[in-house]
Amino acid sequence: MDETVFSYPMKVRDYECDMQGIVNNAVYQHYLETARHEFLLSRGLSFAELTARGIVVVVVRAELDYLRPLRSGDSFEVTVQARRQSRLRIEFEQHILSAAGQAFLRARISAAALDADGRPLRSSGLDTLLRVAEA
Amino acid sequence: MDETVFSYPMKVRDYECDMQGIVNNAVYQHYLETARHEFLLSRGLSFAELTARGIVVVVVRAELDYLRPLRSGDSFEVTVQARRQSRLRIEFEQHILSAAGQAFLRARISAAALDADGRPLRSSGLDTLLRVAEA
Amino acid sequence: MDETVFSYPMKVRDYECDMQGIVNNAVYQHYLETARHEFLLSRGLSFAELTARGIVVVVVRAELDYLRPLRSGDSFEVTVQARRQSRLRIEFEQHILSAAGQAFLRARISAAALDADGRPLRSSGLDTLLRVAEA
Amino acid sequence: MDETVFSYPMKVRDYECDMQGIVNNAVYQHYLETARHEFLLSRGLSFAELTARGIVVVVVRAELDYLRPLRSGDSFEVTVQARRQSRLRIEFEQHILSAAGQAFLRARISAAALDADGRPLRSSGLDTLLRVAEA
């Protein structure tokens, strides 16, 4: 894997599996979000602090391809690559991979920062976020 | 709204909101799944029974456009329209709407039925599922 | 059932069931919380507004007796009875019941209001909450 | 801490925090369950395998004392001590602790094994489970 790709190790928790014995499809978004926030944290940006400063970062579009189901006991890596998508949006390309590099899921997540009234934000807060994506 | 579109009423639960005070992005997939299963149930097909019969129905691709965040106290409708996408796949087009018809989210969810070994299934079980989508 | 007991109708969602095919034990606390918040709302008190005013209401103790597992498709009622437990605490007695009155779970939940620094709160906010419990 | 106590390290994920900015009260049961299953796994017993063999292990009673809220970014340990409570029940004593040993939560969780019809189980499966608690 490219050394410049951020990667966060996780393991399936049994309550995340549904009656089919596989990880429920919504849970993958939890994995992806957790890895994105750890990615931001690794670059000095805390989601909780952004929130405390009134900067609301929301997902505006998600595309997820479920390639192979995760099951109880599985360990995996969640990767994050960020790039500026437009003046107001960041796009995250993410993969969920086994240690052997086998793909469970790939996703494209677009996010935008909003102010307290839900309007797109071009403040220094967003610039900070965007610089992270460009670093 | 088209009378032939299935619609299921729901209401935000406070634990579904995250520290930003809005419904967490993964939770919308829970709403969509719940409405799909109620749609199948309304056509006589129980997800739990399918599972008990060894038919695993999985989401293979999800596209979600988040248009406006849901908040504590919001009531909404989740719509479901199903169509056969290929010999082995069903596509669900879904919307999350306010009572006034304002859209919070729109989604395309593709699902396939697998047998116990994870192979695409062309059994009578799948046919049942596909007939539902065509009814 | 006593007419003065608040009761909130709910239905199991399939993603709430774990690989055993029964509702996961943590999910019952979600049901209980949702019913408590609806109870407060029915008395004019919004949890989201309390939060916005800086009043943090936390569970300090929970006792849950799991009597019979809920399964996919089950409908149920969640009851709430509140009483002042001490100068700083409210106790909620709650049951999860089938339409026929069969009990799935009974619980005692103690809650306290805290200020932003995590100290017990004796403000007008708490008094409002306590009056609800005494009404 | 007693060396014989099993301990599992975890970290708060942001989606586990609710609009109050603290971990939602139900999520602690997810942490406790995850640590119990890892404890069983460390003794050679897989929850998923038990389930596949038709042994349903359910929580029958939970007592939780919430001592201090977990927040975004917090790392913690979840401890597990198991003992046979009766001929048919295991009791788990569990704590959630900071690295410095400060307690966030303490809990007593009683569990029983049931067969497919929901009756208490005295099979070799349960004996296996009970032996783990006595080891």
C:10-29 residues touching chain A, CB 8 A cutoff: 14-15, 17-21, 24, 26
Alpha-carbon radius of gyration of chain D: 15
Q: Which residues contact C78 (CB under 8 A, 6 or more apart)?
A: C7, C8, C10, C31, C32, C34, C35, C94, C95, C96
* Residue B72 domain-assigned (yes or no): yes
Six-digit token pair at A70? 């995760």
pLDDT higher for C129 or D28? D28
Contact D48 A71 (CB under 8 A): yes
Cβ <8 Å between B72 and C46: yes
Which one of A12, A13, A19 makes the best mutation probe of the C interface by having the most chain C beta carbons within 10 Å? A19
How far is the C-alpha of A98 from the C-alpha of A79, rounded, in Å? 11
pLDDT of C135 > 60? The answer is: no
Q: Tell me how far apart the alpha carbons of residues C30 and C18 are, in angstroms, rounded to a whole number.
A: 15
pLDDT digits (tens, 9 = 90+) for C81-119: 999 888 788 999 999 999 899 999 999 999 998 766 667
Q: Give the residue numbers spanning the domain of D100.
A: 6-134
Question: For the domain that residue B14 is a member of, what is the CATH number?
Answer: 3.10.129.10
Within 63-122 of D, beta carbons closer than 8 Å to B belong to 72
pLDDT given at position A125 = 56
How crowded is residue B103: how many other Cβ atoms within 10 Å of its Cβ? 14
Q: Cα dihedral angle (D119, D121, D123, D126), rounded to 10 degrees?
A: 150
Q: Per residue in D25-54, pLDDT tens?
A: 999 999 999 999 999 999 988 988 888 888
Q: Residues D55-75: pLDDT tens digits?
A: 888 999 999 999 999 999 999
A104-117 pLDDT, tens digit per residue, is 999 999 999 876 66
Using a CB-CB distance cutoff of 8 angstroms, which residues of chain A are in contact with residue B29?
25-26, 29
Contact C109, C62 (CB under 8 A): yes
In a domain, A1, yes or no: no
- pTM value is 0.93
Q: Report the complex ipTM.
A: 0.90
Tell me the pLDDT band of B1, cut-offs 50, 70 and 90. Answer: very low
In a domain, D1, yes or no: no
Structural domains counted in chain C = 1
Determine the Cα–Cα distance for residues B65 and B105; give it in Å rounded to an integer. Answer: 6
Q: What is the C-alpha to C-alpha distance for residues B53 and B125, in angstroms, rounded to an integer?
A: 9
Q: Residue B134 has what pLDDT?
A: 58
Hey, is A68 helix, strand or coil?
coil
C86 part of a folded domain: yes
Q: Indicate yes or no: CB of C26 within 8 angstroms of CB of D22.
A: no
- Structural domain includes residue A70: yes
Contact A61 B58 (CB under 8 A): no
* Beta-strand runs (E) in chain A: 6-11, 56-66, 75-86, 89-97, 103-114
Provide mean pLDDT across the span C5-12. Answer: 97
Which residues of chain A have a CB within 8 Å of the CB of D33?
Answer: 13-15
What's the pLDDT score for residue B116?
64
- The pLDDT tens digits of the residues spanning A16-31 come to 999 989 999 999 999 9
* Structural domain includes residue C1: no
Q: Catalytic site residue C115?
A: no
pLDDT above 50: residue D123: yes
Residues 43-72 of D with CB under 8 A from A: 46-48, 51-52, 71-72
The pLDDT confidence band at residue C67, using thresholds 50, 70 and 90, is very high
Backbone angles phi, psi at B55, to 5 degrees: -95, 115
- At B26, the pLDDT band (50, 70, 90 cuts) reads very high
Taking 50 as the threshold, does the pLDDT of residue D1 lie above it? no
Taking the C-alpha atoms of residue A47 and residue B49, their distance in angstroms, rounded to an integer, is 41
Within-domain flag for D15: yes
Cβ distance B78 to B38 under 8 Å? no
Q: State how far the Cα of D116 lies from the Cα of A85, in Å rounded to an integer.
A: 52
Subunits adjacent to chain D (3 or more Cβ pairs under 8 Å): A, B, C
Cβ-Cβ contacts under 8 Å, A47 against chain D: 14, 72
